[in-house]
Amino acid sequence: MKKDDCIFCRIANGEIPSKTLYEDSEFRVILDLGPAAKGHALILPKEHAENLYDLPEGTAAAAMVLAQRMARIMQKKLQCDGLNLVQNNGEAAGQTVHHFHLHLIPRYIDDGQSINWKPGKPTQEELEAIRKLIAE
Ligand code: 5GP
Ligand code: ZN
């Protein structure tokens, strides 16, 4: 389903123009308007899903296959030195547009960007408690 008030639904379905890199019946890949680095692209499913939790399994699988295909093209054409795949779910995780999207961020030596976190120092007991909480 498409959501009329969702900007990425409208872009993905061609109602709002975008710098499109690729399109098929299920996805549109566009350049991000506020790129972290040259060539920063977004994979948008044409069907609305707010986030990863809501995304149909088949779309999730196809998005990763497409990400691999785009990453290979971008590596070749942009001659980037690396590439980050980023996908945010929920405001706490930095999601600002609530239509699932996958960021493809080409990286260049000395591009001045960082996609980082401060590593914690959990004890073995704390790790085990988390493992149990998630896995059991
Ligand atoms: P999020 O923070 O939700 O993971 O990422 C949203 C991304 O969408 C941001 O990188 C932002 O620059 C980009 N963005 C927001 N609105 C538009 C738009 O109208 N067109 C394009 N091409 N990118 C957008
Ligand atoms: Zn949408």
Q: What angle do CA 60, 72, 111 make, to 5 degrees?
A: 100
Tens of pLDDT, residue by residue over 86-99, are 999 999 999 999 99
The average pLDDT across 46-71 equals: 98
Contact criterion met (CB below 8 Å) for 87 and 94: no
22 compared with 115, residue with greater pLDDT: 22
Would you state the pLDDT for residue 106?
A: 98
pTM for the whole structure: 0.97
Q: Which residues pair with 31 in a beta bridge?
A: 41
Contact criterion met (CB below 8 Å) for 42 and 29: yes
The number of the ligand 1 atom at minimal distance from the alpha carbon of 87 is 4
Would you state the pLDDT for residue 77?
A: 98
Contact criterion met (CB below 8 Å) for 6 and 48: yes
The number of the ligand 1 atom at minimal distance from the alpha carbon of 30 is 22
Expressed in angstroms and rounded, the spacing between residue 73 Cα and the centre of ligand 1 is 21
Position 4 pLDDT exceeds 90: no
Expressed in angstroms and rounded, the spacing between residue 39 Cα and the centre of ligand 2 is 23
**Residue 52: left (phi > 0), alpha (psi -120 to 50), or beta?**
alpha
In the chain the first and final C-alpha atoms are separated, in Å, by 35
Position 47 pLDDT exceeds 90: yes
What tokens were used for 107? 């990286």
Q: How confident is the model at residue 1 (pLDDT cuts 50, 70, 90)?
A: confident
Tens of pLDDT, residue by residue over 72-123, are 999 999 999 999 999 999 999 999 999 999 999 999 999 999 998 999 999 9
Report whether residue 30 contacts ligand 1, using a CB cutoff of 6 Å. Answer: yes
Percent residues over pLDDT 70 in the chain: 100
Catalytic: 40? no
DSSP string, 41-103: EEEEESS--SSTTTS-HHHHHHHHHHHHHHHHHHHHHH--SEEEEE---SGGGT--S-S--EE
Position 6 pLDDT exceeds 80: yes
Q: Which amino acid is at 9?
A: C
